[in-house]
Structure formats: C-alpha cells, structure tokens
C-alpha cells in the first residue's frame, strides 16, 4: 500500500506499507547486493544508521549461496537477520552487464556466470521464483537493460519484449504468492520502464505497463553514461504517465544532487552503490561538500568527518584518525567510511522529508542541490 500525504510541485511525501514494516518516502535504499553492505557492514549496522529499506540482488544470490538454500534458511530476512523492508532487484541489469556470452530469446536469457562460466537460463518466471524464494517485500520485474546508446529499432523491440515479460512476471508472481509454502505471501511486484534515451519509446512503454496490476513502477536503464540532463529529461517525460497512487523508483541513482533533483521530479525510491563505493576509496560526504580523507591536510585534523553528524564514525573518531587508518590499510577505515556515507544518505532523505512536511523543499533544493558533490572548502 502507498499513500501520498503531501506534495510540493511534482515532489511527493508518502508512506509505503509492506509485509515487514512502514517506509517514509522519499527513501534511499541501502544496497546489500549479496546480503551485506560491502565494507563489513551488517544488517544490525543498518538499523543504527537509519536505513529503512535494504536492497539485495537476485542474480548474485541465485549464483551463491543459491536461492533454494536461502529459502531453506527461512528466506533472506532470516538468513541475514534483517527484520525491515527489503527489495530485490530482478537480476536483469547484472545479466546484461556482468554475465558473458548472452543469448536473448523471447523465453529469456541464457548467459555465462561471471563466477565460473557455467551456462544459466533466466527468464521472467525464473526471476520471480528466485525472488519468491528470497522472500523480499518488493520483487522487481525481469527486464532487458539495453546498452547506451543503442539503435532506435533495437530499443523499440526490446521495450515490447520487456512489456511481454512483465505480463509473464505478473502471472507467475500471483501464482507464487498463492502457494501454501510461500516465504512471503505479501510480496509486492514493481514493473520497470525502459526505452533507452528515446523519450517517445519511454512514454509509449510507460503507458503500456501502467495498465498492468503492479504495486509500483521503476524507471530503469538510466545513470549508465548518458548526460545528467538527459536523465532528467527522461524522468520529466515519463512521470506524467506513471500512476499517481503508486510509488516511483529511479533505479541505480545516484549522487546527492541526482536524488534531490529526482525528488523534485516526482520520484519516491532511490538506490545506488555509489556512497559505499566512494567511501571505500576515501571520498566522504558532508553538508559542505565532499572530502578526500586521504589528503594530507587532515593528518592533524581533530574534527569529525562532518560537524554534527551522529554516525558511528563521527561520534567517536577524528579525521586524523580515519586518515591514519586509510593510509595504513586498516579494514576499520573502510567500515567507518561506509557507515558514514550511508548515514549521510539516510540523513539526506530524512531532511528532504522534513522539508516536504514543512513546505520548504524548494528552498532546501536551492541550498543543497549544487553543493553536496563539490569539494568542501576545508
């Protein structure tokens, strides 16, 4: 269930309810691809840093430890000891970006595992079964994520196939949820809009899939190399054709500015590996801009990463200490940095929601959208 409780322009303040809890939106989903956040961060840590939804990946968990094994362990929530809401990506993006020697047919995709090269088949029904075994609260439809750029004619055919695949996902998902031994019979299904960077294909595809009985809809296939302004133009073209009473999810996005601008264009859900990846390389977010903790200027800096931040790193440690851990190659450096950046993103969403609640999102956007990704002045 989803309810929009307040609007400011196209921006929406909402509440999403699923089997494992209630989510305040807009929301950033913390990405635990294989059941953990890269950087030695567990599900227990996510609670401490304000995470509302955890996101894991169908493709990776199917390969290892195997979704049937996770099912026998009681589902992914129990397996990783996370009792909050969870979304699983369909695996489509990984099949088309990581796997080798792909062969696409109407039935689905045959590909080589990036781990050991073994041949694997995945189609809409297989993706739904894997996600049902995992027991997530939101399953994503299986789609084809085309390369950017791709010829118009190919993208058009791909969109038509992705729409047909969604019809099969809906049928299989409904059947699986009715099964007596279903791990999570309340699992919801989100459809995915595709169409490359062609607005007319995006709109046509969105109009078609909006008629299908999905619980929410995502915009996929963006943030894959196209200019940022093109991404925003696609969102603006698609958004008017997305159901008003269902959540919208911008997949794989993005930077703090991308998120603020996405909210301004009507998006409710976001995810991205970037905050954790940047943290592992020493790039940290503050409300004054980014800092590279490896910089020698911080070797005697007694301040926390970000003044006033309540993350585990900032509550206890100085920039100088974190820089020392990074230069010494200590694993603790990566963990503390990842915790900080994820806390920052979750706090960013909390402040966005507060601004929407108070009718000041426009001022918030003007203050922070162009600042948060620039180097901090100190």
Please list the active-site residues: 89, 271
User: In whole angstroms, what is the distance from residue 58 CA to residue 345 CA?
Assistant: 24
- The token duo for 226 is 């196209």
**Which residue, chain included where needed, has tokens 């970037």?**
274
Tokens representing 150 are 């791709």
Query: Phi then psi for 90, rounded to 5 degrees?
Result: -70, -20
For residue 154, is the peptide bond before it cis, meaning its omega torsion is within 30 degrees of 0? no
Which residues have a Cβ under 8 Å from the Cβ of 192 and sit 6 or more positions away? 90, 92, 140, 141, 143, 162, 166, 209, 217, 218, 219, 220, 251
Lookup: tokens for 284: 């940290």
117's torsion region: left (phi>0), alpha (psi -120 to 50) or beta?
Answer: left
Which strands form 109-112's sheet, in the order they lie side by side?
100-104, 109-112, 119-122
How far are the Cα atoms of 99, 105, 110, 114 from residue 120, in angstroms, in the given order?
A: 10, 13, 6, 11
Calculated CA dihedral for residues 338, 277, 222, 362, nearest 10 degrees: 40
């Amino acid at each position: 269930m989803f309810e929009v409780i307040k609007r400011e322009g196209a921006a929406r303040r909402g509440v999403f309810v699923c089997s494992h809890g209630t989510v305040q939106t807009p929301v950033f989903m913390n990405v635990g691809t294989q059941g953990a956040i890269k950087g030695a961060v567990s599900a227990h840590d996510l609670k401490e840093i304000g995470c509302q939804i955890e996101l894991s990946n169908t493709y990776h968990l199917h390969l290892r430890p195997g979704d049937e094994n996770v099912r026998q362990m009681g589902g992914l929530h129990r397996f990783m000891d996370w009792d909050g809401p969870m979304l699983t990506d369909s695996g489509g993006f990984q099949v088309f970006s990581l796997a080798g020697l792909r062969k696409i047919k109407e039935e689905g995709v045959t590909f080589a595992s990036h781990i050991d090269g073994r041949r694997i088949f995945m189609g809409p029904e297989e993706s739904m079964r894997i996600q049902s075994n995992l027991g997530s609260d939101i399953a994503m439809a299986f789609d084809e994520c085309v390369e950017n750029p791709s010829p118009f004619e190919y993208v058009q055919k791909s969109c038509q196939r992705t729409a047909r695949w969604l019809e099969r996902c809906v049928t299989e998902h409904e059947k699986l949820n009715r099964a007596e031994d279903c791990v999570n019979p309340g699992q919801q299904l989100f459809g995915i809009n595709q169409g490359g960077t062609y607005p007319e294909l995006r709109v046509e595809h969105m109009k078609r899939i909006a008629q299908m009985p999905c619980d929410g809809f995502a915009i996929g296939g963006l943030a894959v190399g196209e200019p940022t302004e093109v991404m925003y133009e696609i969102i603006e073209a698609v958004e008017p054709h997305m159901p008003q009473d269902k959540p919208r999810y911008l997949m794989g996005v993005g930077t703090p500015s991308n998120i603020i601008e996405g909210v301004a264009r009507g998006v409710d859900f976001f995810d991205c590996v970037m905050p954790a990846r940047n943290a592992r390389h020493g790039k940290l977010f503050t409300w004054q801009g980014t800092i590279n903790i490896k910089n020698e200027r911080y070797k005697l800096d007694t301040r926390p990463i970000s003044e006033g931040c309540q993350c585990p790193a900032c509550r206890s440690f100085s920039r100088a200490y974190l820089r020392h851990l990074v230069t010494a190659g200590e694993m603790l450096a990566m963990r503390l940095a990842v915790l900080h950046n994820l806390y920052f993103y979750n706090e960013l969403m909390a402040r966005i929601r507060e601004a929407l609640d108070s009718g000041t999102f426009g001022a918030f956007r003007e203050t922070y959208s162009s600042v948060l990704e620039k180097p901090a002045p100190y």
